[in-house]
Structure 1
Amino acid sequence: MQILALGFMGVILAGGVLLSLPFCNRQPITFSDALFTSTTAVCVTGLVTVTPAVQFTLAGQIILLILIQIGGLGIIACAVGFLLLLRRQITVKERIVIQETYNMEAPGGMVAMILRVIKGTLAVETAGAVLYAFRFIPEFGVLRGIWYAVFHAVSAFCNAGIDILGDTSFQKYVGDPIINITTVLLIIVSGIGFSVWQDLISNGRRIRRREIPNKWWFTRLRLHSKLAIVTTLILLIGGTVCIFLMERNNPATLGNLSTGEKWMAAFFHSTSTRTAGFATVSQSGLYTQSKFLSCILMFIGGSPGGTAGGVKTTTVAMVVLTCLSVFRGGEQVECFGRRLSGKNIRMGFAVIMTAVTVLFAGTIAITVFEPQVPFIDILYEAFSAVGTVGLTADLTPTLSSASHMVLIVMMYIGRIGPISLALLFGGMSKPKERARELPEQRIMVG
């Protein structure tokens, strides 16, 4: 975990230096802006202080794309892929690092798993680029259209939300089914997590070999996959319906669209808040209640093991199930015929409480630095940074340098995860073994 956290930090600093070089920029850029852009790329967030389409040359945009890809795949996966490309064997020590990074129980099959992730990522990004090309090539010409298709396919799959079209994201494509459907599919495919797709593919093969009946496919999935899929569907559908109902008459967002376009824009926003950061409607024009709902969706994010940020769907699902179990007087937490481990539950609450603490600290700091900005917009910015989303109420470029530094720290913590941050500063100390259990004593709660 410490290697992961320090690795991201090193790539961010290197990216900041590269993006500050003259050949990467069409106009002068401060190092703080270059560092912020590098952070938002590596942390696959999408908040920007400069407009990438205007600021960066082709070389700068290529470096930006590489940083996004590294951030999406992860430092360890990229390093393993590079070593294998050089035909160098992975050492035992390196395998242990991989095992700790991906929280795997056994070191066997790790390299093969990472190779599948890399190959799957490149395959899906290529498919996304082909679909985007149907829109961008007729609009921008062959060469620029292909470049735009590749860049936005990688950015969407990695949940980065960075575009090179201008300063309004995908707003001019609000009614375009190709852009909307392609982007949403890339976000969902990567946000559900690589382990879920591996589970789905494995069960699909068993069904084709007729080892299990079609109707049993869901019951054969691992508990993690079931929780991730069900929670994702609930958030996507629930978020879409709520955004549609709250924004359907808002002239600044959905009000002037047709009914079909309203539903499509609502679904896009519900999906994008779960850590992609692309926007087809004005974020500053959203009603306050919609911004608050979006903050909740940004906080939850996607599923573990993918490119998404947030505290993760399975974490929130586990905490909700724990609360329901307590309310019912249950002694254990059950889900899909399985019992959740106490260690998992404690870790889930620790993740959420740490994320909430970072959010409170960051929000208070920005409020101090920007007293003139509406609180809901600061809150929206803070949730977007910690959730590595990238949506903003047109606020990021107008903030002070101090606020930008706060956002850099929040994006970094959001990408590596609060637990990794604690391990970075606290070390990997093991709990002391006790010869006897301590006596139990209850306290008053609530």
Structure 2
Amino acid sequence: MGKEQKIHLRLSNLQIVALGYFIVAVVGTVLLLLPISSAEGKTTLLEALFTAVSASCVTGLVLVDTSIHWTLFGQLVILLLIQVGGMGFMTIGIRFLLLVRHKISLREREVMVESINASQLGGIVNLTSKIFKWTLLFEGIGAVLLAIRFIPEFGLKKGLFYSIFHAVSAFCNAGFDLMGIKKPFDSMVSYSNDVLVSGTLMLLIIIGGIGFFVWDDINTHGFRWKRYMLHTKIVLTCSVVLVIGGGLLFFLLEGRATGVEMGVGERILTALFQSVTCRTAGYNTIDTGAMSQGSKVLSMLLMFIGGSPGSTAGGIKTTTLSVFILYTVCGIKREGRATAFGRTLPRDSVEKAVSIFTISLGLALTATLFICAMQPFAGVDVLFEVFSALGTVGLTTGITRELAPASAYVITILMFLGRVGSVSLATALLEKKARPPVTSPEEKIMIG
């Protein structure tokens, strides 16, 4: 009886992943509540919890300014939470076990597969090691490039710390910044015309957002396009279209808004930056609240899409969007199967894409209605905030610090769901033992 009960209470791999992120957030909350973490020695539970979840879920939304409210210790805690949330706690955990020469069990490999959304168990430990090394390499290069600007501006110690902090935050698509010392909650607006800073941050965001599997594929096959996996081809194609297409639209839409007093070069740079950062990064080089209504709608669309599977980014993912579009075209043409780059997409791909899209959109609309009922914000600003939280982006029109406690807790939950994955969490909570499939009689209904 005892053995049967033990088996019954055993957590599934998905449940372990969800529980892992929850524990990381709780530990982060406790550390941020310590008097040593805040400049005034006092932080409310809501402020600590919101910040810990935002950092561990690599979002970037904040109730208090990171550079002003938190001490160096508090900022280091936030940096650690960002790194753990970006790479994944299982990646760091397995890397530690390898360092102490611990043999990785089959169960640990299975949890790792769920943690980074891998498609197969084989080679997962080797991939984990690569993720750890590549992350440190890209963050290191980014920190060196940012140091060229930050050290002369802030001095050696502060400039070096700022370089590391923002490189990690950008690569992990977190969006936390320490530029509040210039102007609170201003993000990277002072660097809107700085090619070095904006360019470095954009590259880090893009590299972190395309996914670990794409890196591995490129590392294995170099620049031989024909040898790439279908996943890699779809991710790279979709990413290029979204970045360039989004940049062009922002350039046109902001011509009479935030871009009025900018030169052409600065407008191009800020448009590209906005297009990149909306894909779950959270930095901004223009006043988000002052953007045109068209740009806000475009931003919400990009935030909802997000990055790619197996990356530091959130959102429904580029592959979900691609599957949706491909199957829509397939339906219009009345073709039996959707294809891409000479490969046929499996039916279960569209089923998962529909689930992700429906659940994510349902959560966003439900949360928006709840917050609108609680507080008199403009609907577009609330919807923007909700998409930002669910997509783990971190952009805001300025209402975050005005959220009532109930609204703030809703945003906190959305950030957690966005990082773990709404579909994955639902599966983890409702997961039961497999039952024999029972097929009900089929009957057609009218669609459209």
Same fold by TM-score greater than 0.5: yes
Q: Show the counterpart of 2:106.
A: 92
Instruction: State how far apart, in whole Å, the 2-side matches of 1:107 and 1:218 are.
Output: 25
3-state DSSP of counterpart to 1:219: helix
Q: Show the counterpart of 2:172.
A: 158
**Amino acid across the alignment from 2:188:** F
Q: Show the counterpart of 1:321.
A: 326
* Aligned partners of 2:88 and 2:116 also within 8 Å: no
State which drifts further: 96-105 or 380-389.
96-105
Alignment of 1:342-421 (within 5 A): 342-370=347-375, 372-421=376-425
14 and 114 in structure 1: CA distance in 2 versus 1, 3 angstrom threshold: same
**Amino acid across the alignment from 1:324:** V
Structure 1 residue 86: deviation in Å?
A: 2.7
Structure 1 residue 431: deviation in Å?
A: 5.0
3-state DSSP of counterpart to 2:179: coil
Alignment of 1:301-320 (within 5 A): 301-320=306-325
**Amino acid across the alignment from 2:195:** P
Match of 2:282 among 266, 277, 285: 277
Instruction: State how far apart, in whole Å, the 2-side matches of 1:105 and 1:321 are.
Output: 21
Instruction: State how far apart, in whole Å, the 2-side matches of 1:244 and 1:429 are.
Output: 52
Moved over 6 A (4+): none
Instruction: State how far apart, in whole Å, the 2-side matches of 1:412 and 1:314 are.
Output: 21
Structure 1 residue 143: deviation in Å?
A: 0.5
3-state DSSP of counterpart to 1:147: helix
Q: Show the counterpart of 1:213.
A: none
**Amino acid across the alignment from 2:442:** E
Instruction: State how far apart, in whole Å, the 1-side matches of 2:311 and 2:79 are.
Output: 18
Match of 2:28 among 3, 10, 15: 15
Match of 2:299 among 280, 294, 303: 294
**Amino acid across the alignment from 2:142:** G
Alignment of 1:119-130 (within 5 A): 119-130=133-144
Q: Show the counterpart of 2:197.
A: 179
Structure 1 residue 106: deviation in Å?
A: 4.2
Structure 1 residue 438: deviation in Å?
A: 4.8
Instruction: State how far apart, in whole Å, the 2-side matches of 1:39 and 1:5 are.
Output: 13
Structure 1 residue 429: deviation in Å?
A: 3.7
Q: Deviation string for 1:7-55 (max 9, x for gaps)? A: 1011101101100100011022101100000000001000000001001
2:247 is aligned with 1:233: no
Alignment of 1:60-71 (within 5 A): 60-71=74-85
**Amino acid across the alignment from 2:329:** L
* Aligned partners of 2:88 and 2:115 also within 8 Å: no
2:98 is aligned with 1:80: no
The sequence identity of aligned pairs, in percent, is 41
Match of 1:336 among 336, 341, 357: 341
Q: Show the counterpart of 2:442.
A: 440
Which structure 1 segments of 5+ residues have no match? Answer: 208-216
Q: Show the counterpart of 2:8.
A: none
Q: Deviation string for 1:136-187 (max 9, x for gaps)? A: 0000000000000000000000000000110200000100111100000000
Alignment of 1:52-67 (within 5 A): 52-67=66-81
The total of aligned residue pairs comes to 430
Instruction: State how far apart, in whole Å, the 1-side matches of 2:246 and 2:87 are.
Output: 27
**Amino acid across the alignment from 2:319:** T
Task: Please report the TM-score for the alignment, with normalisation by the length of structure 1.
Answer: 0.94
292 and 429 in structure 1: CA distance in 2 versus 1, 3 angstrom threshold: farther
Q: Show the counterpart of 1:210.
A: none
Match of 1:46 among 46, 60, 71: 60
Instruction: State how far apart, in whole Å, the 2-side matches of 1:223 and 1:346 are.
Output: 18
**Amino acid across the alignment from 2:240:** L
**Amino acid across the alignment from 1:12:** A
Alignment of 1:181-200 (within 5 A): 181-200=199-218
Structure 1 residue 345: deviation in Å?
A: 1.1
348 and 366 in structure 1: CA distance in 2 versus 1, 3 angstrom threshold: same
* Aligned partners of 2:251 and 2:268 also within 8 Å: yes
2:226 is aligned with 1:222: no
Which structure 2 segments of 5+ residues have no match? Answer: 1-13
255 and 121 in structure 1: CA distance in 2 versus 1, 3 angstrom threshold: same
| Alignment root-mean-square deviation, CA | 1.2
3-state DSSP of counterpart to 2:281: coil
105 and 384 in structure 1: CA distance in 2 versus 1, 3 angstrom threshold: closer
Q: Show the counterpart of 2:4.
A: none
Q: Deviation string for 1:404-439 (max 9, x for gaps)? A: 0000010111111112111121015435235xx654
Instruction: State how far apart, in whole Å, the 2-side matches of 1:282 and 1:420 are.
Output: 34
71 and 287 in structure 1: CA distance in 2 versus 1, 3 angstrom threshold: same
* Aligned partners of 2:118 and 2:310 also within 8 Å: no
Structure 1 residue 393: deviation in Å?
A: 0.5
Q: Deviation string for 1:294-333 (max 9, x for gaps)? A: 0000000011111010000010110111111111111111
Structure 1 residue 441: deviation in Å?
A: 2.0
**Amino acid across the alignment from 2:218:** L
Instruction: State how far apart, in whole Å, the 2-side matches of 1:122 and 1:244 are.
Output: 33
Instruction: State how far apart, in whole Å, the 2-side matches of 1:23 and 1:100 are.
Output: 36
* Aligned partners of 2:235 and 2:318 also within 8 Å: yes
